[in-house]
Structure formats: C-alpha cells, structure tokens
Amino acid sequence: MDISGTTALVTGGASGLGAATARCLAENGATVIVFDLDATAAEALAAEIGGVAVAGDVTDEAAVTAALDATGSPPRIIVNCAGIGTAGRVVGREGPMPLASFQRVIGVNLVGTFNVCRLAAARLSDAGLPGVIVNTASVAAFEGQIGQAAYAASKGGIVALALPMAREFARFGLRVNTIAPGIFVTPLLGTLPESAQAALAAGIPYPSRLGDPEEFARTVKFIVEMDYLNGEVIRLDGATRLAPK
C-alpha cells in the first residue's frame, strides 16, 4: 500500500512508539489521526505533523468511533500502540493479585486492541476499501518474566489475533500483522537510571543497545508497504530472549 495520500489512525499516538509511528507516517504523506488518552499531548503532536487529534480510551466504543470519523473517511492504516505495562506477581507478599488488576491490563491491551480492530475493519468492509492493521505485542508474549503474567497474557492474546483476523479480513483486502518489540527507549524506560538502562542493553545480543522508537516506526512502514506480508508476527528485539526475572 502506498502511504502517501492515505489516512492513518495511531492509538497511543502521542508518545513513545505511537508518536514515532505517527511522525513516520506523516512524513510519508499520510494524514494521521493521533488517538490518545492525553488530549494535550495528542493535540501538540497533531499540530506538529499536520494531523488530527482525538482524545479517548481504546476500550470506549464511542471514543474509537469518533476517531474513525475524525477525517470523514475511514483510515486505511490502523496502528495499535496503546497499552499499559503494570507489573505484579500472581501471588505476592500481600496475597493473590487482585482480579481487577489482571482485568485492567487485559482490558486495555487486549480488549482495547480488539475493539479498535473490529470497528475499523467494519468501516473498511462497508466501504469496500483495502487496508492494513498493525498491532503491537511484546517479546513478553513468548518469554514473560516473573511479575508479567497479566502483561504477557494480554500480549499473547494480541499475537493470537493476527492470523484469524488476517484470514477473515482477506475477503475485503484488509491485512493484519503484529510487531513484538523487545526493550525500547520509551518515556517509561527513560525514567530508569542510566546504569539500569545500560544493564538492560548489555543483555541484548546484537546490536547491544535499546531499541529506538524510530526503528519500530520504520517496521510499521515496511509492513504497510509490503502487500504480501499478512497474518505475521515480527519480533523486533536484537535477538534478545527475556530471562525469568
């Protein structure tokens, strides 16, 4: 698919991997809908890249519908970057993990991703338009660490969505792919001391550094433009494999 002249929706688009993706798509000629909980940040980025800002929660059908309607035509590129990374042991010092904590992570990461996918796909199907969905999983989907049970489960669910949705949406030309990033430089990771970041980087085989959000964005660009890539999950991690803890 040619990015130039299309409309793209990027959830979690105001920071981190989402912001890098929004900038990349805009630089390549797309009109980008920046969808994020943080209205101020979304508006600032949209103004920077000539896009449209929509504030909202990916689990909220009305908010996602508003984002899909933001430019008057359904976005043909959908990139789901919204997510949370709350950690916690299944059984910790204070007892079993509160069920609400598990449900919140599953709700935002997995249900939120599915919510955007289903609503965007319906629009494209009704309009008879081809498109591409890129979802964001994590290497934790394959090697979840201690304390990541909820997060790993949510990302594993996103991995599992790719193939069945790609098969179902093939009838109207909508591709579905997933990126499973490793350890990337994000606003949350940036709060760690430099020594801690260096230790994380040292465990990555090659290149021995943290991932750059622009590399994630370039992978999104490749997926969008490579029409024969469908139903796939791409690990973007420098060959790292997470240790148990």
CA angle 232-235-241, nearest 5°?
Answer: 140
| The pair of three-digit structure tokens given for residue 198, joined into one six-digit string | 């260096």
Query: What are the tokens at 73?
Result: 């035509």
Check residue 191 and give its pLDDT: 63
Q: 125, 136, 33: which is closest to 75 by C-alpha?
A: 33
Q: Which residue has the tokens 């002249």?
A: 5
- Contact between 183 and 189 (Cβ < 8 Å): yes
Q: Does pLDDT of 189 surpass 80?
A: no
What fold, for 7-235? Rossmann fold (3.40.50)
The reply to whether omega before 207 is within 30° of 0 (cis) is yes
Using pLDDT thresholds of 50, 70 and 90, give the confidence band for residue 192.
low
Sheet holding 31-36, edge to edge: 52-55, 31-36, 7-11, 77-80, 131-136, 174-181, 233-236
Domain locations along the chain: 7-235
Residues annotated catalytic, as ranges? 151
Beta-carbon contacts of residue 2 (< 8 Å; ≥ 6 apart): 225
Pairing of the two strands 131-136 and 52-55: unpaired
pLDDT computed for residue 194 by the predictor:
82
| Greatest Cα pair distance in the chain | 54
Rg of the chain over Cα atoms, rounded to whole angstroms, equals: 17
Distance, CA of 58 to chain centre: 11
d(CA 77, CA 72): 14
How many CA atoms does the CB half-sphere of 136 hold within 13 Å? 28
pLDDT tens digits, 42-76: 999 999 999 999 999 999 999 999 999 999 999 99
Q: Which amino acid is at 58?
A: V
H or E element: which one contains 180? strand 174-181
Which tens digits make up the pLDDT trace of 82-132? 999 888 999 999 999 999 999 999 999 999 999 999 999 999 999 999 999
- Residue 97 contacts by C-beta under 8 Å, 6 or more apart in sequence? 88, 89, 90, 91, 149, 150
Mean pLDDT (whole number) for 159-187 = 96
Q: From CA 199, how far away is CA 190, in angstroms rounded?
A: 13
Q: What percent of the chain has pLDDT over 70?
A: 98
In single-letter form, the type of residue at position 186 comes to: T
Q: Which parts of the chain fold into alpha helices (H)?
A: 16-27, 39-49, 61-68, 99-105, 112-127, 149-169, 194-202, 213-225
**pLDDT confidence of residue 188:** 66
